[in-house]
């Protein structure tokens, strides 16, 4: 357990990105650029132990998967889709009316969507990305997801069918990001890559950014839970375990002014961890990346939460709502005991693709608006030009840019 000060000291010197991986990710990207599909076949064998015959999964297989999954799974996927669609429509940028100065909104043309599948096939990620692209009006959606020994999970394929994905390729990791960024013989180059993934995926996205757009660095999962004497220790314990089970790199933070509650919750975690099917992952994650922080006041609690800028911030105190205005960094806020993080993972409506590693200081969670771009439109009347030109002419002189000056000056003269 840390005090606020010791935690701040540790946090200031800590860097969770494993930079030693950067070289190997860089060389994977180069190899895909040079050798295209062949590199993808080779890396699937090397990293996923699978000899692929084909990269693309045909649309007939998606339809077949949709028909073959259980009714309750199909209904749950449809329900989640409906909730996501409803929320994303409500926050979509609205096109302003044309005037002399305005912004024109356009959907992106082609986007690549990474659906993780290394240690768990994240079927919900298909919905938490593609539905947003569809609401935005994106022309073409392409899903990549790691290959599996028995083929990509039927649920993932069925979800792709439900949201009308145009192409699905069974390829994962940094090699999939490189293929989307630069294109191969089979996989077309996209305009933007979105979706979460492990360290390899996150680093690859960082490296290809600029040649292609990315959403954010949505790396290994994180949760910050704030508790007080009234919090349910068993419920909070499950919330911590739920994020820890994603990855050995997943980070969990538990923060309170109440030391006894911190101890009570961690005792619950210890009690429950042994029976978890993903015990091996959870125990490694907790051992290396769990922080319990004992704060002296609510002010300190808020400071620590804002310093972490975590992916998920779960406030399970009596005065939970009062934190909404105080937490200024964080991917998504979960307020009160009945807004557990896992409800956001699956069905609430906001996307579960969220910035990690402190990126919530400057990035947002994925939304429909990430699939839109705007350009400003300048369409001036002669009278507005005449009004603005003298200041422009003066600034052009200041910058000693004669042609800029002339472009304004002679027009102004002609309109007199
Ligand atoms: N931030 C978010 O929004 C968010 C949302 C969902 C999931 N996640 C995170 O996504 C991640 C999913 O990770 P995952 O591993 O299960 O699946 P993944 O699909 O992200 O990664 C699997 C791929 O990693 C590559 N890989 C594995 N070992 C490698 C090595 N040694 N060298 C090069 N490449 C290698 C392989 O190609 C494999 O296909 C977790 O960290 C989870 O926490 C984050
Ligand atoms: N908690 C993850 C984001 O960090 C998203 C997810 C998908 N499925 C389950 N969980
Ligand atoms: Zn989760």
Look-up: residue for tokens 């975590």? 310
The pLDDT of residue 16: 61
In angstroms, the Cα distances linking 300 to 2, 172, 197, 307, 327 are 13, 41, 32, 10, 12
Q: Are 402 and 408 in contact (CB under 8 A)?
A: no
Neighbours of 52 (CB within 10 A): 16
Per-domain residue ranges of the chain: 19-216, 220-363, 380-415
Q: Is 221 annotated as a binding residue?
A: yes
**What is the widest separation between alpha-carbon atoms in the chain?**
84
Please state which of the four CATH numbers 3.40.50.300, 3.30.365.10, 3.30.1300.10, 3.40.50.1980 is assigned to the domain occupying 220-363: 3.40.50.1980
For residue 359, the ligand closest to its alpha carbon is: 1
Q: Are 226 and 315 in contact (CB under 8 A)?
A: yes
416 CA from centroid of ligand 2 (Å): 64
Residue scoring higher pLDDT (13 or 76): 76
Give the closest residue to 254 by CA, choosing from 267, 345, 16.
Answer: 267
- C-alpha dihedral sign at 357, 363, 368, 374: negative
What tokens does 30 get? 């180069």
The pLDDT of residue 360: 96
Whether 220-363 and 19-216 are alike in CATH topology: the answer is yes
pLDDT, tens digit, 9 for 90 and up, residues 244-261: 999 999 999 999 999 999
Average pLDDT over residues 300-313: 97
Question: Going by CA atoms, what residue is nearest to atom 10 of ligand 2?
Answer: 345
Neighbours of 21 (CB within 10 A): 15
51 CA from centroid of ligand 1 (Å): 19
Which residues make Cβ contacts (< 8 Å) with residue 104, sequence separation at least 6?
A: 95, 374, 375, 376, 377
For the cut 70, the answer to whether the pLDDT of residue 377 exceeds it is yes
Q: Is domain 19-216 in CATH 3.40.50.1980, yes or no? A: yes
Q: Are 393 and 405 in contact (CB under 8 A)?
A: yes
Whole-angstrom distance, CA of residue 115 vs CA of residue 113:
6
Secondary structure of 11-30 as H, E, C letters: HHHCCCCCHHHHHHHHHHHH
Average pLDDT over residues 214-223: 95
pLDDT, tens digit, 9 for 90 and up, residues 105-120: 999 999 999 999 999 9
Catalytic residues: 311-312
**How large is the ipTM?**
0.98
Q: Distance between the two ends of the chain, CA-based, in angstroms?
A: 75
Residues of the chain above pLDDT 70, percent? 99
The pLDDT of residue 314: 98
Q: Is 352 annotated as a binding residue?
A: no
Q: What's the pTM?
A: 0.96
In angstroms, the Cα distances linking 395 to 7, 133, 388, 389, 390 are 50, 42, 11, 10, 9
For the cut 90, the answer to whether the pLDDT of residue 10 exceeds it is no
Give the closest residue to 48 by CA, choosing from 186, 144, 165.
Answer: 144
In this structure, which residues have their CB less than 5 angstroms from ion ligand 3? Answer: 345
At residue 374, the 3 state secondary structure works out as strand
Whole-angstrom distance, CA of residue 201 vs CA of residue 217:
9
Q: Is 289 annotated as a binding residue?
A: no
The pLDDT of residue 17: 63
The pLDDT of residue 172: 98
Q: Are 146 and 173 in contact (CB under 8 A)?
A: yes
What tokens does 132 get? 């947003």
Question: Going by CA atoms, what residue is nearest to atom 6 of ligand 2?
Answer: 345
Whole-angstrom distance, CA of residue 4 vs CA of residue 295:
5
What tokens does 102 get? 């305005």
277 CA from centroid of ligand 3 (Å): 15
Whole-angstrom distance, CA of residue 11 vs CA of residue 17:
13
Task: Check pocket membership of 247 for ligand 2, CB cut-off 6 A.
Answer: no
Task: Check pocket membership of 350 for ligand 1, CB cut-off 6 A.
Answer: no
Q: Where are the beta strands (DSSP E) in 322-403?
A: 332-335, 372-378
Average pLDDT over residues 6-16: 78
Question: Going by CA atoms, what residue is nearest to atom 5 of ligand 2?
Answer: 345
Q: Quick one: pLDDT band at residue 374, thresholds 50, 70, 90?
A: very high
Length of the chain in residues, anyone? 416
Whole-angstrom distance, CA of residue 399 vs CA of residue 404:
9
Task: Check pocket membership of 115 for ligand 2, CB cut-off 6 A.
Answer: no
């Amino acid at each position: 357990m840390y005090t606020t000060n010791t935690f701040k000291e540790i946090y200031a010197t800590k860097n969770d990105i494993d930079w030693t991986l950067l070289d190997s990710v860089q060389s994977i990207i180069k190899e895909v650029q040079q050798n295209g599909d062949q590199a993808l076949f080779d890396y699937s064998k090397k990293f996923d132990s699978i000899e692929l015959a084909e990269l693309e999964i045909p649309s007939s297989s998606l339809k077949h998967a949709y028909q073959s999954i259980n009714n309750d799974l199909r209904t749950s996927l449809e329900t989640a889709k409906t909730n996501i669609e409803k929320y994303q429509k409500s926050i979509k940028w609205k096109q302003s009316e044309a005037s002399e100065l305005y912004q024109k909104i356009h959907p992106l043309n082609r986007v690549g969507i990474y659906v993780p599948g290394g240690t768990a096939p994240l079927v919900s990620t298909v919905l938490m990305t593609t539905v947003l692209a569809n609401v935005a009006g994106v022309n073409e959606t392409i899903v990549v997801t790691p290959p599996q020994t028995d083929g990509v999970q039927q649920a993932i394929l069925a979800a792709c069918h439900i949201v009308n994905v145009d192409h699905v390729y069974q390829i994962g990791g940094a090699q999939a990001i490189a293929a989307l960024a630069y294109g191969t013989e089979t996989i077309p180059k996209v305009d933007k890559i979105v979706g979460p993934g492990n360290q390899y995926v996150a680093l690859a996205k960082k490296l290809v950014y600029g040649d292609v757009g990315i959403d954010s660095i949505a790396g290994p999962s994180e949760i910050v839970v704030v508790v007080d004497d009234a919090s349910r220790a068993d419920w909070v314990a499950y919330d911590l375990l739920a994020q820890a089970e994603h990855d050995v790199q997943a980070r969990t933070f538990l923060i309170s002014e109440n030391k006894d509650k911190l101890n009570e919750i961690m005792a619950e975690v210890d009690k429950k961890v042994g029976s978890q099917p993903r015990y091996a992952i959870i125990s490694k994650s907790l051992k290396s990346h769990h922080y319990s922080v004992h704060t002296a006041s609510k002010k300190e609690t808020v400071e620590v939460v804002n310093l972490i800028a975590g992916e998920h911030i779960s406030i399970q105190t009596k005065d939970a709502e009062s934190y909404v205005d105080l937490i200024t960094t964080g991917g998504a806020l979960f307020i009160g005991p009945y807004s557990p993080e896992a409800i956001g993972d699956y069905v609430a409506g906001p996307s579960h693709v969220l910035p990690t590693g402190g990126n919530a200081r400057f990035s947002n969670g994925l939304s429909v608006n990430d699939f839109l771009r705007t350009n400003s439109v300048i369409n001036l009347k002669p009278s507005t030009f005449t009004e603005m030109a003298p200041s422009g002419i003066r600034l052009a002189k200041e910058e000693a840019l004669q042609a800029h000056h002339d472009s304004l000056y002679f027009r102004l003269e002609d309109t007199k």
